[in-house]
């Protein structure tokens, strides 16, 4: 694509093309009122955090977003109009909920609804039209819609129900319950909605059919503050005449061994709450709710199902037809009921539920011990093995799983600690069955089956891996010319999928699986590139707010199970991550919703500080390699360095957040506080040469000082030299743990040492990212040396093979190697950078990302000293190409053979891009 080139020498040109286009179009519209030429309608209409036509929606004051056509003709939006109505037929001219009128604005994302108040169950239809850079109006296009769920506890007319059980022995476990009710519908059903939740986990059936594709529902929130509900359109499941609704109730997170670690929770029983609302052809409505008329039993085939320990299934106890009308339930008992109160809000689920997203076939079968068959799926994953196996009457098949194998080919399960992660299936007859567990999940690559007759020989069809995680879609893609770097990217994405199951967990396999805040904090930017996890983060940050303590401290894990609170680097998720989400989505609501939490966490630092130095112990730079300190896990960077560094980082973010939200007094206060912290940090931990004065100088201490801008200007050069000396002393390797690792390549790059950043990334030996790949890793590991061919397994007490924290390197790979980076001053990729950093052994790299405005892309290829850059800039955005320097001379940029005149800004050379697709050559 050719573009008019111009010469500008300025230090502040960002958005110049956008401003000019907007002013020109605005003037054009004043002269030419109304549509000039109809343009293609907007596409990808979504509400709030990217939902497409949702039902059971949570947000009664949603925001609206859309994308402009990516046809090359539409460059910018200059105005829009939104209409919303209670019926599609009323659109666009008779919108009875809201008509925004024509609004002069380039904003096409996160437009807040300003119409009539919306109520539970309400269906809303909406359309949008836009005006382009020439003042031409688009068509209306197809309407989008959303339907609200039940927004208030009072909307539920039924009761919580369960079968009373004695679960005082948590080790013995809770026996899942089966609940049912028959009912009659006098006429054909034209519309039906099922609203359901549980304290625990549920599966619901109507007339013999399982409702929905969700698992581990309704999910995990701070149950003392919020329980989520889900909504299903069940119109096709119902019929005139007799019907039956049934449910299975499991312990889940709410009542199992996991939550028993929290002593402040009372002894609890799983409970079900369900409401089925029908509209019939004769105009009648009917509501079926959970109440005393239901019956229950715990004599069904699922004898136990726990998140840590697996599931026990006895097919001899199957109750054929129990979810259909006419089943004999005389032996079942009445349920125990409990009224729905207002103390714990029941709210529609605000992010995607857990579903099966992929199936992995068995690649290889071995028999390391007689009668024990090991199935290799080739990938460490999270979910369950689905079995398709021959069984015998009264014989039990044992299903064990593992992430790794011992050298003799048997399962390595020591790192699961107290989690049994074992399933059992007992056959009712001699037959072939297809089965998987219900209310549990495992982290594994290998599946061991045993219990078969000696004459039975396995085949690969016996085991299929069913991958479970919250059902978000892929957002970004990275690839390069280097096979191991591509494998690293693959390992990072598999680690995210395995640990983004309902909440961001540290690991998915051992007796933990908790929402560790530090892991989540460092990985947040990477997670937002790889997958569409905006709603996932918005939901979990709500849980963080709900679990924040009265003194402002944040628990180490959220939902909180009383592990502790306040660790620097961990609790900072309350400040750092809302900002990270905002930068990548442009959604101000994430800052507005969390501003109070952000303030309170930062204020907790300020209260503890003495002369702006905070000495708060936490997990420090967790699992730093080669520690000299006796506390080998917390390693060598002093707690007061880390706490003060994060105090400074949070304060800097608070200044920016306050500015965005229009709070100038707050912004000024935080600006002054940051200057005081920087001055104190420099004096407390560095001498005048820029050298650390701590007992053990560490890479992480230098990285935090430089990366968080905590050094007085005169100390920076010395600090950089000392950091380089430490890296050189480590033979070019990192010596960083969970907090230092995300900083190392960015700091080196920003300090002009991109070559060293590449050196650290591409190291093959311990400790490095490629080291685990050389040992066979298919996900990210908790330790740099969780396993080696030479030395075997690391400390089983802390040795997860699916732990995404070190995958934070992906942010640098995307934003610097491939060069696709957001601009915090124009968040959500309204303006972004194409800034490729060729280097190391690479000859090409590519990153593409589905921004709120459309696909953005940065690709580069290097051959014979020539560099080709391809860029895609979606409509209604702009970008800046930061031209890499291939030699000491000035770079030369051409497009289709035509020279482009560059903007010089300091030592950088820039070229402004309007929407379109480009191919450049750099010499």
Mind listing the pLDDT tens digit for each residue in 575-597? Answer: 999 999 999 999 999 999 999 99
pLDDT band at 630 (very low <50, low <70, confident <90, very high): confident
Report the pLDDT averaged over residues 459-465: 98
Mind listing the pLDDT tens digit for each residue in 513-543? Answer: 999 999 999 999 999 999 999 999 999 999 9
pLDDT at 713: 97
pLDDT at 5: 35
Report the pLDDT averaged over residues 265-269: 63
Mean pLDDT over the full length of the chain: 94
pLDDT at 889: 81
Q: Does residue 558 register a pLDDT over 90?
A: yes
pLDDT band at 391 (very low <50, low <70, confident <90, very high): very high
Lowest mean pLDDT, pick from 160-169, 362-371, 388-397, 557-566: 160-169
For CA atoms 574, 580, 583, 584, give the dihedral sign.
negative
pLDDT at 72: 87
Q: Does residue 259 register a pLDDT over 50?
A: yes
pLDDT band at 887 (very low <50, low <70, confident <90, very high): confident
Report the pLDDT averaged over residues 902-913: 95
Q: Which of 324, 782, 846, 848 is catalytic?
A: 782
pLDDT at 3: 38
Report the pLDDT averaged over residues 230-254: 97
Q: Are 354 and 219 in contact (CB under 8 A)?
A: yes
Q: Does residue 449 register a pLDDT over 70?
A: yes
Mind listing the pLDDT tens digit for each residue in 737-768? Answer: 999 999 999 999 999 999 999 999 999 999 99
pLDDT at 343: 86
Backbone angles phi, psi at 533, to 5 degrees: -115, 25
Q: What is the rounded CA–CA span in Å between residue 378 and residue 464?
A: 11
pLDDT at 727: 98
For residue 330, give both structure tokens: 């005389």
SS3 544: helix
Q: Which of 403, 512, 589, 655 is catalytic?
A: 512
Report the pLDDT averaged over residues 606-612: 98
Rg of the chain, C-alpha, whole Å: 29
Mind listing the pLDDT tens digit for each residue in 198-217? Answer: 999 999 999 999 999 999 99
Q: What is the DSSP string of 590-614?
A: HHHHHHHHHHHHHHHHHHH-BTTB-
- pTM equals 0.95
For CA atoms 630, 632, 637, 642, give the dihedral sign.
negative
What percent of the chain shows pLDDT beyond 70? 94
pLDDT band at 149 (very low <50, low <70, confident <90, very high): very high
Q: Does residue 16 register a pLDDT over 60?
A: no
Mind listing the pLDDT tens digit for each residue in 803-821? Answer: 999 999 999 999 999 999 9
Q: What is the rounded CA–CA span in Å between residue 69 and residue 77?
A: 11
pLDDT at 632: 85
Q: Does residue 783 register a pLDDT over 50?
A: yes
Q: What is the rounded CA–CA span in Å between residue 76 and residue 492?
A: 35
pLDDT at 864: 86
Alpha helical stretches, state H, 482-571: 483-499, 517-530, 534-547
Q: Is 782 a catalytic residue?
A: yes
Residue 473, classified by CB atoms within 10 Å of its CB into exposed (0-12), middle (13-18) or buried (19+), is: exposed
Mind listing the pLDDT tens digit for each residue in 299-341? Answer: 999 999 999 999 999 999 999 999 999 999 999 999 999 999 8
pLDDT band at 14 (very low <50, low <70, confident <90, very high): very low
Mind listing the pLDDT tens digit for each residue in 658-706? Answer: 999 999 999 999 999 999 999 999 999 999 999 999 999 999 999 999 9
pLDDT at 663: 98
pLDDT at 24: 41
What per-residue string of b and e applies to 525-551 under the rule 16 or more CB within 10 Å gives b? bbbbbbbbbbbbbbbbbbbbbbbbeee
Q: Are 156 and 340 in contact (CB under 8 A)?
A: yes
pLDDT band at 483 (very low <50, low <70, confident <90, very high): very high
Q: Is 512 a catalytic residue?
A: yes
pLDDT band at 172 (very low <50, low <70, confident <90, very high): low
Q: What is the rounded CA–CA span in Å between residue 262 and residue 220?
A: 15
Q: Nearest Cα to 860, choosing from 838, 882, 890?
A: 838
């Amino acid at each position: 694509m050719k573009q008019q080139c111009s010469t500008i020498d300025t230090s502040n040109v960002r958005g110049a093309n956008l401003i000019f286009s907007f002013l020109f179009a605005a003037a054009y519209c004043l002269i030419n009122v109304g549509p000039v030429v109809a343009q293609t309608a907007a596409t990808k209409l979504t509400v709030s955090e990217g939902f497409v036509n949702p039902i059971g929606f949570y947000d009664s004051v949603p925001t609206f977003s859309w994308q402009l056509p990516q046809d090359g003709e539409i460059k910018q939006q200059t105005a829009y109009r939104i209409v919303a109505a209670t019926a599609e037929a009323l659109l666009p001219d008779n919108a009875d909920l809201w008509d925004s009128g024509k609004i002069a604005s380039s904003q096409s994302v996160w437009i807040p609804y300003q119409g009539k108040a919306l109520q539970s169950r309400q269906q809303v239809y909406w359309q949008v039209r836009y005006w382009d850079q020439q003042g031409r109006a688009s068509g209306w296009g197809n309407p989008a819609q959303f339907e609200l769920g039940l927004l208030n506890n009072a909307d539920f007319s039924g009761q919580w129900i369960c079968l009373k059980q004695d679960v005082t022995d948590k080790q013995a476990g809770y026996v899942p319950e089966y609940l049912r009710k028959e009912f009659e519908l006098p006429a054909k059903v034209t519309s039906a909605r099922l609203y359901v939740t549980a304290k625990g986990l549920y599966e619901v059936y109507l007339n013999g059919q399982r409702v929905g594709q969700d698992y581990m529902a309704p999910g995990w929130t701070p149950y003392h503050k919020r329980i989520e509900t889900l909504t299903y359109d069940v119109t096709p499941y119902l019929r005139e005449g007799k019907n039956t609704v049934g449910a299975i109730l499991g312990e889940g997170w709410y009542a199992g061994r996991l939550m028993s670690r929290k002593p402040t929770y009372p002894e609890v029983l799983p409970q079900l709450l369900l409401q089925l609302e029908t509209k019939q052809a004769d105009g009648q409505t009917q509501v079926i709710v959970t109440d005393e008329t239901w019956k229950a039993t715990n004599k069904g085939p699922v004898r136990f199902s726990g998140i840590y320990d697996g599931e026990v299934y006895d097919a001899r106890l199957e109750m054929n037809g129990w979810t259909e009308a006419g089943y004999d339930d005389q032996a079942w008992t009445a349920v125990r009921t409990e009224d729905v109160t207002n103390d714990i809000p029941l709210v529609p689920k605000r992010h995607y539920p857990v579903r099966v997203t992929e199936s992995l076939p068995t690649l290889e079968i071995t028999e390391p011990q007689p009668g024990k068959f090991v199935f290799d799926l080739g990938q460490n994953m999270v979910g369950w093995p689905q079995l398709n196996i021959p069984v015998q009457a009264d014989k039990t098949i044992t299903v064990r799983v593992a992430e790794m194998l011992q050298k003799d080919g048997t399962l390595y399960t020591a790192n699961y600690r107290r989690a049994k992660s074992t399933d059992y299936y007992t056959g009712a007859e001699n037959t072939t069955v297809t089965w998987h567990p219900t209310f549990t999940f495992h982290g594994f690559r290998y599946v061991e089956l045993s219990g078969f007759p000696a004459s039975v020989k396995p085949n690969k069809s016996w085991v299929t891996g069913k991958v479970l995680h919250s059902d978000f879609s892929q957002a970004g893609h990275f690839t390069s010319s280097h096979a191991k770097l591509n494998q690293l990217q693959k390992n990072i994405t598999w680690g995210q999928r395995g640990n983004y199951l309902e909440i961001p967990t540290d690991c998915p396999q051992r007796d933990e699986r908790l929402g560790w805040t530090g892991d989540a904090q460092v990985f947040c930017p990477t997670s937002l590139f790889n997958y569409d996890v905006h709603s996932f983060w918005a939901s979990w940050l709500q849980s963080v707010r709900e679990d924040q303590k009265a003194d402002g401290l944040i628990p180490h894990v959220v939902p909180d199970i009383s592990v502790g609170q306040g660790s620097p680097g961990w609790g900072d998720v309350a400040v750092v991550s809302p900002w990270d989400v905002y930068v990548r989505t442009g959604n101000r609501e994430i800052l507005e919703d969390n501003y109070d939490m952000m303030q309170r966490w930062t204020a907790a630092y300020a209260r503890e500080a003495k002369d702006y130095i905070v000495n708060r112990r936490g997990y420090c730079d967790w699992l730093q390699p080669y520690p000299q300190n006796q506390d080998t896990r917390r390693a060598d960077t002093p707690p007061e360095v880390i706490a003060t560094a994060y105090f400074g980082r949070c304060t800097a973010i608070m200044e920016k957040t306050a500015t965005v939200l229009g709070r100038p007094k707050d912004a000024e206060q935080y600006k002054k506080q940051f200057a005081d912290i920087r001055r104190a940090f420099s004096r407390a931990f560095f001498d005048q040469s820029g050298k650390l004065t701590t007992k053990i100088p560490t890479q992480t201490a230098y990285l935090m000082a430089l990366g968080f801008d905590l050094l007085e200007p005169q100390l920076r050069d010395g600090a950089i030299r000392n950091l380089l000396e430490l890296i050189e002393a480590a033979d070019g390797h990192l010596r960083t743990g969970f907090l230092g690792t995300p900083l190392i390549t960015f700091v080196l790059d920003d300090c002009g040492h991109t070559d060293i950043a590449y050196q650290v990334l591409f190291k093959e030996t311990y400790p490095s990212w490629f080291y685990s790949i050389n040992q066979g890793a298919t996900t990210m590991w908790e330790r740099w040396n969780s396993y080696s061919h030479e030395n075997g397994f690391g400390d089983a007490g802390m040795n997860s093979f699916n732990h995404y924290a070190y995958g934070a390197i992906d942010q640098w790979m995307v934003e610097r190697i491939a060069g696709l980076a957001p601009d915090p001053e124009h968040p959500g990729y309204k303006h972004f950078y194409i800034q490729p950093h060729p280097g190391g052994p690479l000859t090409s790299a590519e990153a593409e990302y589905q921004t709120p405005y459309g696909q953005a892309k940065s690709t580069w290829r290097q051959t014979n000293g020539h560099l080709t850059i391809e860029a895609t800039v979606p409509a209604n955005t702009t970008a800046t190409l930061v031209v890499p320097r291939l030699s000491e001379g000035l770079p030369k940029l051409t497009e289709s053979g035509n020279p482009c005149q560059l903007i010089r800004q300091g030592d950088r050379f820039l070229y402004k891009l309007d929407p379109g697709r480009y191919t450049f050559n750099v010499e």
